[in-house]
Amino acid sequence: MNTVDSVSNLVGSGSHVYEANSNWAKLPDSIRLGYTHGIVTDAQDNVYLFHTNRPSVVKFDPEGNYISSWGDEYAGGAHGFYLHRESGGEFLYLTDTSRGLLVKTTLDGEKVLELGTPDLPGIYDDDHRYVPTDAAVAPNGDIYVTDGYGQNWIHRYSSDGTYISSFGGTGSEPGKLSCPHGISIDTRNGEPELYVADRSNHRIQVLTLDGAHKRFIDENMDMPCSFFIFGDELYFPDLHSRVTIFDRNDKLITHLGEDQQAYKQEGWPNLPESYFRPNRFSSPHGVCVDSKGDVYVAEWTVNGRVTKLTRVRHK
């Protein structure tokens, strides 16, 4: 399902063909990228990148020109990155794996809310850390946080940070999780559902907003990391070297930039720069789509890598 043109750097197939530009981000000399874990776009199509060096949040315009940066405190722990439009404006939800935090900020980095380790002594102690990896916000404002690198739970809070409930735990049976790496609220078919990137179980698990299991999606993926919903389509980075697009029924539209040899290389994901090609991915970790349908991909590589995929419009 993946078509690649090495001359013009085209990726995709059918109605979803893009021109890849892995030199899109124009960074000032003072900023060197670490692992580029998260990427989001605001209502003006500005792009925000979340990476593990300082400053950890970097803002660009749609052409890749540098605008501003902030967030030194997230260095080393920058991971999940979610932009949510609310009645009060647009806000960022950031997870810090090093400090065990979920932080809500304005687009300029002003802190609005901070949530640390849940007070759950039956789950967390000195030997069982809380390591949040992603967050999502439901239509009623409830916040969901995945403990993807810790104890494999999902925690639910009200919009003001009041704890509501937890569900999940380690396992492969329905309702159980192994590295719930990413989470989104899917409203494409009316009733809101939780989509969980159950990464080490090699599947997406769909839950009710109360955490009850509904179904598995386990075809055309290997290690899903997170999600971005654009219209009726679901975009997700597959850590095993491709970005995937599903239709509203979660059926495959196409894979983008697939390289089934990359993740099999010795030293992956920290491959030498000589390995990379602009129309192939190594370790996609974050993805977002702007209002024009152009796609931005952040990869988990030691020196960071950000690619813009510009949609080819057919006349």
Tens-place pLDDT, residues 252-290: 999 999 999 999 999 999 999 899 999 999 999 999 999
Helix (H) or strand (E) holding 180: strand 180-186
Closest CA to 228 of 197, 202, 252: 197
State residue 118's pLDDT score. Answer: 98
State residue 6's pLDDT score. Answer: 43
Is the pLDDT reported for residue 228 higher than 90? yes
Tens-place pLDDT, residues 87-132: 999 999 999 999 999 999 999 999 999 999 999 999 999 999 999 9
Average pLDDT, the chain: 96
Mean per-residue pLDDT, 52-67? 98
- The CA distance from 271 to 262, in Å, is 8
State residue 198's pLDDT score. Answer: 98
Q: Tell me the domains of the chain and their CATH numbers.
A: 34-256 (2.120.10.30)
- The CA distance from 115 to 118, in Å, is 8
Mean per-residue pLDDT, 193-198? 98
Percent of the chain clearing pLDDT 70 (strictly above) = 97
Mean per-residue pLDDT, 158-166? 98
Sign of CA dihedral 261, 263, 264, 270: positive
Helix (H) or strand (E) holding 311: strand 305-311
DSSP 1: -
Closest CA to 225 of 238, 235, 216, 207: 238
State residue 5's pLDDT score. Answer: 45
- The CA distance from 262 to 242, in Å, is 10
